[in-house]
Structure 1
Amino acid sequence: MSGTSGRLLSLLSLLQARRDWPGQVLAERLGVSGRTVRRDVDRLRDLGYPIHATLGPDGGYRLAPGTDLPPLLFDDEQAVALAIALQLAATSGAGITDGAARALATLRQVMPTRLRHRVDSVRLTAIPQAPSSPPVDAAALLAVSDAVRSREVLRFDYRSDQAQADGEPGPARRVQPHHLLARGGRWYLLGWDLDRADWRTFRVERMVPRTPTGPRFAPREVPGGDAAAFVAARFKGSDGDDAWPCRGEVLLDLPAAEVAPYASEGTVEAVAPSRCRVTLGAWSWHSLAATVARFDATFEVVGPPELARALDVLSARFATAAASFDHGGTTDAGPRSSRRRAGHRTG
């Protein structure tokens, strides 16, 4: 690479690294005169880079947004990070899988051999986490995001499951949009519902934004100050902290190593080679009781009493369901064999 070409790439890399650069500092970093820096800036402008001169005692330069997308320059770490992020686009639920694949192919084509080998070593197949959920329309996602950024009231039709099945648009809503969040392959809007005077969470793939948007609003403080924690708590059925409203403890007749991979957010403590103490949470006591039962082993309830009562209720329901079933022709393979059939290997 010639000295001029290499210097232009170095200059472009510096301009992309921070907002403002004094001309003299650029000259010192590149080991050239201020006059050469001015000429190189003009060359980059001819290539389509919108570089603005800044005023002040020292004078300087700023790489600004333009009307077209000029060639970009990434360092090694940025290029690899971008390639991995593009491969994970299928898990985002944003409906950009095809666009991300084309972008990755374009990026890979212009990568130097050493970077291409690094990216190829982490080639992966991204599995969407919520395959039953339709992808979010990119235009709707942008409309919601713009309203959040602009602090403008968002008007939209919200399609419930029944409305989607009937082909109906769903009820109209008026919301002050505060945060756009991604969770488990789905996108959610957290906003203040003007008609219900309360915080609400909406699935973006069910939203049909209306135009124009409403008036601007002053943002409110999300309870607790953390939008992600607030929404996570709502998913757990809690109106307060990000914690399950129902928590219980049992002694399970299984080795801790067998239980730990399936305990999710719970804690597992070994108390004997084939016995462990498990603390779990759920949105209701009956859900917690069912969660404990799924380990397919005998157990002892440590507490609280609500968990024991929920187990009594489920026991009666299970007994009734089993009594109503015709067992003719069925076989019992035993609890251990059924667990092995239903499970899977982990690394």
Structure 2
Amino acid sequence: MGTTERVLALLGLLQQRRLWTGPELASRLGVTTRTVRRDVERLRVLGYPVHAGQGVGGGYQLGPGQDLPPLLLDDEEAIATAVALLAGAESGDAALRALTKLDRVLPTRLRHEVRALAGSVSSFGGGRPAVDSEALTTLARACRDEVLVQFVYARPSGTGRVTDGPSGAVADGSSGAVAGGSLREVEPYRLVASDRRWYLLAFDVGRNDWRTFRVDRMSEISEKSWHFKRREAVPEAAAFVQESVSSRVYKYQARFLVRAPMATIRALIPASAAVVRERTATTCEVISGAGNLDFILMHMTLLGHDFEVLDPPDLRERCAVLADRLRRAAEHQ
């Protein structure tokens, strides 16, 4: 690795634990102890308080009770870094540790923005989706400050309609319609990162209902000048959005009881494709949606575990039809 990359790696090691010996650092970095000493001196020149102890029990450590210098990132880079870390923060300790370090070294003007973003984000599925940092920052700030947001919501590619909402309802854009989408005014409550995309959970003022919006389909986002009063019954953001994108937006929704532990089935189905809830230690409930009932049955069958249909009732009839079809196919040798 190059000098800059190595010095940053050294700083990361010094922040991981209180004391390191020179040989330990040299081994971790793949260099000599002389190189470690030179890199420690580079950190000191940059303002990092690295202390060195001599003799038995000696080693290198960051000085306690001292401020670290500001991180050398511009505003956009710092926010983008925080966004990337937040997308994985609930799926790993490493991302949380990195966020903590970022918060320590950011200039005051940026620290407030990053903390606002952190306090307005939930996730499910543990992915790291591509993001528009400016859009996310604006929405996170609006969630924090409880101010109305206005934006243009684009129609799905290749369609002439706008879809969103808890039940997959179609909005024709007749109220506040604009070219290519519809003008929306919402009370923003929470940003949610999935294993594929970013979403906003909000109360749509024009439609008087809770809605889920894909951030990548939002444009011309602006904060309004007036505040809204937070509603008493706010849905749990991550669960609401996950159920919205995995089942509610589809023509058909289905529930199954699967005879396998939740962890086993969760590992087989992307979080954006279905909601998996534990029933017992050996069974779980799967909620999913699709435009075709046979499509749902095919995927449930391919999981490789016994299951039964809970809803809708007519899906049981489709099971029988498909079973007969498969049996006939097997009989034709």
Q: Which has the higher contact order (CA 8 A, sep 6+)?
A: 2
- Give TM-score scaled by structure 2 length: 0.43
Larger Rg: 1
Structure with more strand by fraction: 2
